[in-house]
């Protein structure tokens, strides 16, 4: 793959390993490690395999691991979770911002015990990209608009010392304007002609970069493709 065929954006791309099969995950890392700067894992891989799955993926060539378990518990429990995950040299992890300032501060304090090279990035999740306004308002009872709710929770997270937040393409520009130094992670990356799967708020790679995203989470459009270069072209991620 040439320099103009995706490698300039490699550091931005986080490949989502949405499988519970460790052998499949290792095979995906081996196949896509030259195209992705990091790999995201969640409950599907960690519940059956434990956190040692992180070490296995790193051995297979994963440069960085994004642990997406969305910690949400009492402050002491979340602090312990951050400590245990950090033992496996996790690069980034998620926490639910709705856990409140005490919980977020406990996570930040635990991370600060680590050296600069060992400290994971802590990013907050406010409104899942699978959620739309109707669900947020009518089912959950939050009367704010999605964007306003995300901004409010993200402000709380940054004040607690979090490194950044997860948001869709639709909110990324506002997040960048409000939090110019925050790390912004954007999932829901799809080609404009692609299947939305279970995502409601999506955009392609160039949309996200132009909106201010630092990192782009890509799952099935990349892992399900037999031609990674073509997939990146369709996502408009072959050039800076």
**Residues involved in catalysis:** 70
Do residues 203 and 169 lie in contact, with contact meaning Cβ atoms separated by under 8 Å?
A: yes
What is the distance between the alpha carbons of residues 10 and 21, in angstroms, rounded to a whole number? 25
Helix (H, G, I), strand (E, B) or coil at 175: helix
165 and 124 Cβ atoms separated by less than 8 Å: yes
CA separation for the pair 64, 36 (Å, rounded): 9
| 185-201 b/e (C-beta count within 10 Å ≥ 16 → b) | bbbbbbbeeeeeeebbb
């Amino acid at each position: 793959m040439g320099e103009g065929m995706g490698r300039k954006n490699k550091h931005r791309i986080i490949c989502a390993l949405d499988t519970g099969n460790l052998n499949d995950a290792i095979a995906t890392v081996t196949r896509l490690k030259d195209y992705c700067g990091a790999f995201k894992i969640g409950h599907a891989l960690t519940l059956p395999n434990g956190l040692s799955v992180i070490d296995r993926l790193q051995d297979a060539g994963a440069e960085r691991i994004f642990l997406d378990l969305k910690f949400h518990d009492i402050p002491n429990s979340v602090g312990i979770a951050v400590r245990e995950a950090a033992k496996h040299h996790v690069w980034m992890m998620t926490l639910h911002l709705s856990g409140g300032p005490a919980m977020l501060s406990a996570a930040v304090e635990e991370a600060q015990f680590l050296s600069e090279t060992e400290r994971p990035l802590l990013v907050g999740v406010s409104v899942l990209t699978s959620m739309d306004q109707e669900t947020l308002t009518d089912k959950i009872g939050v009367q704010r608009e999605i964007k306003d709710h995300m901004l409010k929770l993200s402000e709380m997270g940054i004040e607690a010392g979090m490194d950044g937040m997860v948001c869709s393409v639709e909110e990324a520009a506002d997040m960048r304007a409000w939090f110019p130094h925050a790390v912004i992670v954007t999932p829901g990356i799809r080609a404009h002609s692609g299947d939305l799967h279970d995502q409601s708020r999506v955009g392609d790679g160039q949309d996200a970069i132009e909106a201010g995203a630092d990192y782009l989470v890509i799952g099935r459009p990349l892992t399900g493709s037999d031609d990674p270069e073509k997939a990146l072209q369709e996502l408009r991620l072959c050039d800076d």
